[in-house]
Amino acid sequence: MGVHRGDQVMRVTVLGSGDAYGSGGRGHSAYLLEAPGCTFLLDCGPSVLQSLKRAGHDSAAIDFVLLSHLHGDHFGGIPFLFMEYRYENPRTRPFAVFGPPDTERRVRGLFSALYEQTAREALPFGLRYQEVVPGSPVVMNGVRVLPFAVSHVAELVCLGYRIEAAASRTRRSRRARAISGAAGSC
């Protein structure tokens, strides 16, 4: 799915929209967003690598991950990306993970639980974690992301995002989409 605005395109590929149980054979939550100069994931469920490969996308093109919340079906694929970047599709350029409070601890803990030895070693690329909170924008590679609170589960900070692609040479205004990885129950 793409939205064309003059010479700008923000393309969204649904890699997974399933629940935690893979109902209906759908992959776990993962949306690939491609804007000029920037490719990123909204959520990174455990089935993300298979979904990327099935759709013909190169995992190395991903600049960062935005997480809607910290349920495993939304962030459980990050350790698999790290393994892919270490062993199968070597990465040297920086990578970032943006998410609600506690993202870094949870991702590091999951990586260690799944691949203890590899998690102890330095990754061959720069890795940055950044906490995001509703109302505080993040700008990365010409894409502006404005997090907002969504209702999902009371015990977690759950986020939706307004995503704005950079203005083009022919258009002065930015073009936006709003998207959330979760709403309602799991």
Buried b (16+ CB within 10 A) or exposed e, 56-85: ebebeebbbbbbbbbbebbbbbbbbbbbbb
Contact status, residue 147 vs residue 159, Cβ threshold 8 Å: yes
Catalytic residue among 7, 43, 63, 73: 73
In DSSP notation, 61-110 reads G--EEE-S---HHHHTTHHHHHHIIIIIS---S-EEEEESTTHHHHHHHH
Contact status, residue 119 vs residue 108, Cβ threshold 8 Å: yes
Contact status, residue 100 vs residue 159, Cβ threshold 8 Å: yes
> 73 an active-site residue?
yes
CA 139/CA 2 separation, integer angstroms: 21
Residue numbers annotated as active site: 73
